[in-house]
Structure 1
Amino acid sequence: MKRKTDLRSISWQDNCVVIIDQTRLPGELRFLRIKDVHALWQAVKELKVRGAPALGAAAGLGAYLAVRNSKAKDFESFFPGLKKALRYIATSRPTARNLFYGLERIERIALHNRSKGVAQIKRLILKEAQRIMDEDRVSCRLIGEHGERLLKSGDTVLTVCNAGMLATVGEGTALGVLYAAQRKGKRIKVYACETRPLLQGARLTTWELMKHGLDVTLICDNMAATLMRQGKIDKVIAGADRIAANGDAANKIGTYSLAVLARFHRIPFYIAAPASTFDVSIAHGKDIPIEERAAEEVTALFFRKPVAPERVKVYNPAFDVTDQALIKALITDKGVIRPPYHRNIRRIISLKRGHATE
């Protein structure tokens, strides 16, 4: 088995996209080799690869898979096929900003180099996808460095879903803060919410925290309030899938509940995310598109054993939006952003628009 520091949720190896199949964890560490865009779309839809930053990488690599065998002789015949592939990948999951960020960067690099030959444009598309991955590794490290300063040795942190190396190309956003604190020698304890209905906290977060040697305790989602009342939580840190211009943040369903509880119990609540997760074209969180997923995710225990009556009506939004007023600070690769968010996000976040200069 690879060492914890060698594991990558997604990578490009031997002309294939290689991902950890996260639906198999924690029971089995299985790597999947993906060779075409349709298999990649399915892997994204089925959460075999997941997490906003990782989806940005998947988008870029998926675009390359879609066009690498194109027979087009010039840009005018090549670009419609690329555009079709980008639209197709965009239908996989609607909420994560990074997926669209990755697609936009690929389109820009192609348009900027339209005067070049098709073979060279293909190489530049792959290079841009790899650059997205390289940048995310750096972003994760910077998020960790900025965020760990908010933690004291002896703190106990509550987190939800999975915002670690499994959700990024680097070592994570929310969990990256914990890993950075660990490297600084700080003693940090973690409570991980199981994160219904697909148990990303139970299956993924506890798995990787244990691999990193952090003190982690798993709880059911409905235990968080009791822990806070008992004084067992010092901070709450979550990731994000999309952040609006005013600081409202979409993340895994249940995050908003934790923010409300944290406010009532006077516990600082933080969101950790890279600049690429911010969507300044959306003014408020109410306009963030929220993915609704299959009823079976709720009615069956991880698709295997029914836990609800047949034909029961189900509402299954994958994400909720935390109001910016509940967020103590946004921990980013650009630094820690504090209120007023509507002013400071635009001042501090300079969204990377790609390197369309090749």
Structure 2
Amino acid sequence: MGGVTRTIDWDTDAIVIVDQCALPAEYRLLRLRTVDELIGAIQRLAVRGAPALGAAGALGVALSARTRGTATEAIRADAERLATARPTAANLRWGVERALAALPGGADAVLAEAQAMLTEDERVNRIASRHAADLLLELCARRPLRLLTHCNTGRLAAVDWGTALGVVWHLHAAGQVEYVLADETRPLLQGARLTAWELAEAGVPYRLLPDSAAAAALARGLVDCAVVGADRIAANGDVANKIGTYGLALAAARHGVPFIVVAPSSTVDTTLADGSAIVIEERAATEITHVAGTAVAPEGAAVFNPAFDVTPVELITAVVTEHGVFAGNRG
């Protein structure tokens, strides 16, 4: 797919990312040479997805360490700015803190740790998605499977491979996918722009649908299983994911369709007892009031634009990580 193997990587003196704001019209690589450039890319969603953000956080610390040398406090200040660039995704701070722990060994040690995390990301997500694919084959009797997904959870959301779409790659290779229904995913249409692009690249049959049509697809019996990713998982198994996930889970529960969450264990935040304490990022009003720079709402329209919502564990059939089904602390 495309011109490079990884969605985010290190090359000589810069972080190289696939610019996800340019897709699907253009496959474009960006070289980020400063922490400020990386933070800007994170905030405008040129790099996004929980696992990819973990890698971005780690590489950002490496970039700072190589730039600032022995200025430890300045590096730690850069690390904190990176960690808070997007508040909901647990992996961003996890990646920052893991790389920062290598700082006493110097800049080369930080970079080595960050690069090890890149390799680990693909391995972990392949394992997690394999576990989830096996679970789906146990839960769903119909063959081949008809899957519904939300937002983008493929290799663009990770260093490589992906989480929920990683399940699709496993099942498609085994001839077990009839089609994927991909929600367009408001407000930035990551499903339409990114998931559809990945599915087309992989040759997986798919149909794109408005978020508001997902419940209708479930009601009409067009879906065997819903499978999504996660940006933060509380200790009890509550899941924060892209806005619209909660509504999808409600509809899946109403129609008796399994609802599976796939994520690396780094997405689990054991400091939070449940999802009520998860900070939900709110995005700019213009992401709703404008499309491609053109106003589609009256000037001055008030907007509620949360980037994520929280799905309670009671609506989730299983949360699956590289360690298998996450039981959580449900007591």
Place the TM-score, normalised by the shorter chain, in its bin.
over 0.9
- Cα distance in structure 1, aligned partners of 2:117 and 2:65: 18
Range 91-100 or range 101-110, more displaced: 101-110
Question: Which letter maps to 1:107?
Answer: L
- Cα distance in structure 1, aligned partners of 2:178 and 2:267: 26
15 and 91 in structure 1: CA distance in 2 versus 1, 3 angstrom threshold: same
Q: CA deviation at 1:343?
A: 5.8
Does 1:107 find its partner at 2:100? yes
* Aligned equivalent of 1:130: 115
Q: CA deviation at 1:154?
A: 1.1
Larger radius of gyration: 1
Q: CA deviation at 1:147?
A: 1.2
Q: Deviations over 1:14-40 (max 9, x none)?
A: 321111110110010000111111100
* Aligned equivalent of 1:326: 315
* Aligned equivalent of 2:140: none
Q: CA deviation at 1:308?
A: 0.4
* Aligned equivalent of 1:242: 232
Question: Which letter maps to 1:330?
Answer: V
- Cα distance in structure 2, aligned partners of 1:232 and 1:337: 28
Does 1:342 find its partner at 2:329? yes
Q: CA deviation at 1:278?
A: 0.3
Instruction: Describe how 1:156-195 pairs up with structure 2 within 5 A.
Output: 156-195=146-185
- Cα distance in structure 1, aligned partners of 2:48 and 2:325: 25
Which of 309, 315, 319 is matched with 2:298 structurally?
309
Question: Contact 1:224–1:258 (CA<8 Å) still a contact in 2?
Answer: yes
Question: Which letter maps to 2:90?
Answer: R
Aligned residues between the structures: 326
- Cα distance in structure 2, aligned partners of 1:323 and 1:312: 31
- Cα distance in structure 2, aligned partners of 1:162 and 1:231: 23
Question: Contact 1:181–1:188 (CA<8 Å) still a contact in 2?
Answer: no
Does 1:299 find its partner at 2:292? no
- The secondary structure found in structure 2 opposite 1:320 is strand
Does 1:264 find its partner at 2:254? yes
Range 178-187 or range 200-209, more displaced: 178-187
* Aligned equivalent of 1:121: 106
Could you tell me which runs of 5 or more consecutive residues in structure 2 were left unpaired when the two chains were aligned: 138-142
RMSD of aligned residue pairs (Cα, Å): 1.5
Which of 8, 32, 38 is matched with 1:40 structurally?
38
Q: Deviations over 1:250-288 (max 9, x none)?
A: 000000000000000111101000000000000010101
Question: Contact 1:178–1:188 (CA<8 Å) still a contact in 2?
Answer: no
- Cα distance in structure 2, aligned partners of 1:211 and 1:250: 28
Q: CA deviation at 1:126?
A: 0.4
* Aligned equivalent of 1:202: 192
Percent identity of equivalent pairs = 46
Question: Which letter maps to 1:99?
Answer: L
Question: Which letter maps to 1:264?
Answer: R
- Cα distance in structure 1, aligned partners of 2:229 and 2:116: 22
Could you tell me which runs of 5 or more consecutive residues in structure 1 were left unpaired when the two chains were aligned: 73-77, 114-119, 345-358
Q: CA deviation at 1:87?
A: 1.1
- Cα distance in structure 1, aligned partners of 2:316 and 2:189: 24
